[in-house]
Amino acid sequence: MVNTGQARTLLKYIKSHRDCMLSVCAALYHEPITFSDFDGVYNEIFDGNAPETIDSGENFRNYLIKKRIIKERSVSGNLENGVALTDEAKMAYKNYTNGSKVK
């Protein structure tokens, strides 16, 4: 599990990009962190405008699924609880790592 310092470092990375959800993907692609590591820091992720419904790791996970950033699957991989990056998120991450702008 990633400690709070590492989670905050990821948050700085996430906030430095226009589309924070795809940046979450890029961060999670490399770090097998748990969604509970983000507990209490959702306002930072959303620059002070976190939806009221996002108040737990489980709600954050569900939000990412709704936004098609992650999808459920039967076998757990890089992400916890049997979810994986969607094809769109993988493509955005691949474009990002190749120097293209994340859309």
pLDDT at 52: 72
For residue 7, name the pLDDT band (cuts at 50, 70, 90): low
pLDDT at 64 over 50: yes
pLDDT at 103 over 50: no
- At a CB cut-off of 8 Å and minimum separation 6, what does 6 contact? 31, 33, 37
Radius of gyration of the chain (CA): 13
For residue 31, name the pLDDT band (cuts at 50, 70, 90): low
Rounded Cα distance between 78 and 84, Å, is 7
Average pLDDT estimate for 34-58: 69
pLDDT at 11: 55
